[in-house]
Amino acid sequence: MKALVYEAPYQMHVRDVPQPRPAPDEVLIRVAYSGICGSELSGFEGRNSLRKPPLIMGHEFSGIIADLGERATLTHPHLQVGLPVTANPLLTCGQCDACLRGQQQLCPSRKLLSAMLPGSNAEYVTVPAMNVLPLPSQLSLTAAALAEPVACAIHSVRLAHPQPSETALVVGAGPIGLLTIQALAVYNLSAIYCADLNPERLAMAESLGAHPVDLREWRGPVDIAIDAVGANPTRAACANLVRPAGRVVFVGLHEAESPLPINDIIRREIICYGSFAYNPRDFRAALEGLAAGHFFLQDSWTRVEPLAAGSACFEELIHGSTVAKIWLQPPQE
């Protein structure tokens, strides 16, 4: 099969690789659309410790079931060849304390497609049957490929415990930031603000009802601040812009370490959360929210490109694309 293989920093090429075969409890999915995630951009640059070449990236995807392992057909009879699906790309043990608490994203043996395992930037990908979700009939394959980033947004907002009439700031109007704005809107906040250096992205946020602000001038304060960038200045800004006893959620993984105003955080009793991925409940909620039209990226904010253009698309997104999401499409039969 054809696959887009990350081979070294800034080097990614389409190669012929062996087509995977599903294990007894796995499903083989023919990939329809595979989104490029911000965490993969740092991997492409060689700055992500989880992504070592050679590697097939991609974990935001949709597709059609092409084959099932013999046990998968017994344990998950609702899964059939030809069924449109998406999949939770975070594989966990299901037996540890974290998994039993419903915090599968904290499983110590977790593995993510596109990091420890081959991902969806290929014609086919294998996934455990228990991670595969059939699509609601009204949901397109392109929209279904947003389920993973929507689940990230839902999880981060749940951590913040928004209350009606509170205010929130989202820093970063990339896909996660735009979807986070939509997740916050469900809670009937009095105002949602958004900051981004890219004017096109900031206009997208404004069209969703967020008030655009410039962090160099704006002083807040807000009840909740969510950093969807992960840079030193954005993390510090979130800590500075919440009210006393406000909540900060750190989502962005851009930089591994950041200095923070810890004394101020202590004296103002700022509550800080790290938000990583999602649990199965978040993922199911994402799929339901997409099907209900609560989450979306407008057509003009997205683009579909052939898998062969993958390297150029990674470069474009790193240098500030005017689109929010690029989906890669493998060769279709």
C-alpha to C-alpha distance for 112 and 261, rounded to whole angstroms: 32
**Rg of the chain over all Cα atoms, to the nearest angstrom:** 20
Q: Are residues 142 and 164 in the same domain?
A: no
Q: Are residues 270 and 188 in the same domain?
A: yes
C-alpha to C-alpha distance for 84 and 79, rounded to whole angstroms: 10
* Residue 251 placed within a domain: yes
Q: Where are the beta strands (DSSP E) in 217-301?
A: 222-227, 242-250, 271-274
CATH number at residue 47: 3.90.180.10
* Residue 281 placed within a domain: no
* Residue 130 placed within a domain: yes
Cα dihedral angle (30, 4, 254, 300), rounded to 10 degrees? -70
Query: DSSP label at 87?
Result: E
Work out how many domains the chain is built from and give that number. Answer: 2
Q: What is the pLDDT of residue 256?
A: 86
* Residue 286 placed within a domain: no
Q: Are residues 11 and 122 in the same domain?
A: yes
Q: Are residues 115 and 182 in the same domain?
A: no
* Residue 290 placed within a domain: no
* Look-up of token digits 């590697």: 55
Write out the chain's pLDDT in tens, 333 residues. Answer: 999 999 999 999 999 999 999 999 999 999 999 999 988 998 999 888 789 999 999 999 999 999 999 999 899 999 999 999 999 999 999 999 999 999 999 999 999 999 989 999 999 999 999 999 999 988 999 999 999 999 999 999 999 999 999 999 999 999 999 999 999 999 999 999 999 999 999 999 999 999 999 999 999 899 999 999 999 999 999 999 999 999 999 999 888 899 999 999 999 999 999 999 999 999 999 999 999 999 999 999 999 999 999 999 999 999 988 899 999 999 986
CATH number at residue 215: 3.40.50.720
* Residue 163 placed within a domain: yes
Q: Are residues 138 and 7 in the same domain?
A: yes
* Residue 204 placed within a domain: yes
Q: Per the confidence metrics, is the pTM higher than 0.85? A: yes
Q: What is the pLDDT of residue 255?
A: 86
Q: Are residues 49 and 25 in the same domain?
A: yes
C-alpha to C-alpha distance for 122 and 137, rounded to whole angstroms: 25
Kind and range of the H or E run holding 86: strand 84-87
Write out the two tokens for 273. 């959360």
The helix-helix angle for 280-291 and 147-160 (nearest 10°) equals 110
Residue 147's identity, in one-letter code, is A
Q: Are residues 249 and 323 in the same domain?
A: no
Q: Are residues 98 and 191 in the same domain?
A: no
Q: Are residues 66 and 22 in the same domain?
A: yes
Q: Are residues 20 and 106 in the same domain?
A: yes
Write out the two tokens for 135. 């699509």
Q: What is the pLDDT of residue 223?
A: 98
Per the structure, the complete domain to which residue 155 belongs is given by 151-274
Q: Are residues 193 and 220 in the same domain?
A: yes
Q: Are residues 82 and 174 in the same domain?
A: no
* Residue 67 placed within a domain: yes
